[in-house]
Chain A
Amino acid sequence: MSTAISISSLVKTFGSVRALDGLDMTVATGEVHGFLGPNGAGKTTTLRILLGLLRADAGEVTLLGGHPWEDATELHRRLAYVPGDVTLWPNLTGGEVIDLLGRLRGGLDPKRRADLLERFDLDPTKKGRAYSKGNRQKVALIAALASDVELLLLDEPTAGLDPLMEATFRDLITVESHNGRTVLLASHILSEVEALCDRVSIVRDGRIVETGTLAELRHLTRTSVEVELIGSVHRLAGIAGVNDLQVDGTTARFAVDADAIDEVLRHLTEIGVRSLFSRPPTLEELFLRHYRHDPSSR
Chain B
Amino acid sequence: MKHLSGTAPLVRFILRRDRLVLPAWVAALTIVPATTLSAFAELYPTDAAVETAARAFSSNPAFRAMFGPVFEANLGSLTAWRASIVLVIVGVATLLTVIRHTRVEEETGRRELLGSTVVGRHAPLTAALIVAVGANALLAMLVASGLAAQGQPIAGSVAFGMSMAGVGIVFAAVGAFAAQITEGAGGARAIGLSVLGLAYVLRAAGDAGGDGLTWLSWLSPIGWANRMRPFASEQWWVLGLLLGLAGLVTVAAFSLSARRDIGGGVIAPRPGPAEATSFAGTPLGLAWRIHRGLLVGWAAGFAVLGSIYGGVAEGVGDLLKDNPELLDIFERLGGGADTIIDLYLAGVMGVLGLIAAAYAVQASLRMRVEEESQRLEPVLATSVGRTRWMAGHLLLALGGPALALSAAGLAVGVTYGAVSGDLAGQVPRVLGAALAQLPAVWVLAGVAVALFGLLPRLSSLAWAGYGAVLFITLIGALLRLGQWFNGISPFNHLPNLPGGEAAITPFVALTGIGALLVASGVIGLGRRDIG
Q: Of B293, B377, B383, which one neighbours A83 at CB under 8 angstroms?
A: B377
Measured CB to CB, the closest approach of chain A to B391, in angstroms, equals 13
Which 10 residue pairs across A and B have the least CB separation, nearest first?
A103-B281, A99-B276, A93-B272, A104-B382, A81-B381, A125-B271, A95-B274, A105-B382, A96-B276, A53-B530
Measured CA separation A140–B375 after assembly (Å): 11
Contact A129 B275 (CB under 8 A): no
Known: A100-B280, A104-B281, A129-B184. A74 touches B383 (CB 8 A): yes
Judging by beta carbons under 8 Å apart, are A103 and B377 in contact? no
Q: Give the docked Cα–Cα distance between A104 and B378 (Å).
A: 10
A275, B289: Cα distance in complex, Å: 68
B residues 266-299 in Cβ contact with A at 8 Å: 269, 271-276, 280-283, 285-286, 289-290, 293
A-B contact pairs, 24 of them (CB 8 A): A51-B377, A51-B381, A52-B380, A55-B528, A72-B380, A73-B383, A73-B385, A76-B383, A76-B384, A77-B383, A81-B378, A88-B375, A89-B375, A93-B273, A96-B272, A96-B276, A99-B276, A100-B281, A100-B285, A100-B286, A102-B281, A103-B282, A104-B282, A125-B273
**Chain A residues touching B, majority SS:** mixed
A104 to B279, CA, bound (A): 11
A residues 62-84 near B (Cβ < 8 Å) are 72-74, 76-77, 79-81, 83
Q: Please, how many angstroms separate the alpha-carbon atoms of A52 and B388 in the complex?
A: 15
Q: List the interface of chain A (C-beta within 8 A of B).
A: 48, 51-55, 72-74, 76-77, 79-81, 83, 85-93, 95-106, 123-127, 129-130, 140, 143, 153
Compute how far the CA of A218 lies from the CA of B83 in the bound complex, rounded to whole angstroms. 76
Majority-rule SS of B interface residues: loop
How many whole Å from B16's CB to the nearest CB in chain A? Answer: 24
Shortest CB-to-CB span from A127 to chain B, Å, is 6
A residues near B285, Cβ cutoff 8 Å: 100
- Which A residues are in CB contact (< 8 Å) with B184? 90-91, 129
Q: Report which of A53, A73, A99, A125 forms a contact with B281, defined as CB distance below 8 A.
A: A99
Knowing A90-B184, A100-B276, say if A53 contacts B380 (CB, 8 Å). Answer: yes
In the assembled complex, B379 has its CB within 8 A of some CB on chain A: yes
Contact status A73-B384, CB under 8 Å:
yes
Q: Contact at B276–A48, with CB atoms within 8 Å?
A: no
Contacts of B378 in A (CB 8 A): 81, 83, 86, 101, 140, 143
A83–B380 alpha-carbon span in the complex (Å): 12
B383 and A105 within 8 A (CB): yes
Task: Kindly provide the distance from the CB of A171 to the nearest chain B CB, expressed in whole angstroms.
Answer: 24
Q: Which of the residues A52, A77, A96, A104 comes within 8 Å of B283, measured between beta carbons?
A: A104
Asked if A95 meets B275 with Cβ closer than 8 Å, knowing A103-B281, A129-B107, the reply is yes
Residues A127 and B272 in contact, CB atoms below 8 Å apart: yes
Interface membership of B374, Cβ < 8 A = yes
Do residues A96 and B273 form an inter-chain contact, with CB atoms below 8 A? yes
Q: Taking beta carbons and an 8 Å cutoff, which residues of B are in contact with A?
A: 107, 183-184, 186, 269, 271-276, 280-283, 285-286, 289-290, 293, 373-375, 377-385, 388, 527-531
B265 to chain A, nearest CB (A): 11
Q: Contacts of A106 on B, CB cut-off 8 Å?
A: 382-383
Known contacts A53-B377, A129-B184: A95-B382 contact under CB 8 Å: no
A130 touches B281 (CB 8 A): no
Closest A residue, CB atoms, query B373:
A87
Given A95-B276, A99-B275, A99-B281, decide whether A89 and B290 contact each other with a Cβ distance below 8 A. Answer: yes
Min distance, Cβ A268 to any Cβ of chain B, angstroms: 54
Q: What A residues does B183 contact at CB under 8 A?
A: 129
Q: Pick the residue among A85, A99, A126, A127 that contacts B280 (CB under 8 A).
A: A99
A53 and B531 in contact, given A83-B377, A127-B272 (Cβ under 8 angstroms):
yes
Please determine whether B273 and A76 come into contact, CB atoms closer than 8 angstroms: no
**Hey, which chain A residues are within 8 Å of B271, CB to CB?**
93, 123, 125-127
The residue on B at minimum CB distance from A72 is: B385
For the complex, give the distance between the alpha carbons of A81 and B376 in Å. Answer: 13
B272 touches A87 (CB 8 A): no
Other contacts beyond A102-B281, A129-B269: 4, CB < 8 A: A91-B289, A101-B382, A104-B281, A143-B378
Pairwise interchain contact A103-B269, C-beta atoms closer than 8 A: no
Q: How far is the CB of A278 from chain B (nearest CB, A)?
A: 45
Task: Give CA–CA (A89, B276) in the complex, Å.
Answer: 13
The distance in angstroms between the C-alpha atoms of A106 and B384, with both chains bound, is 9
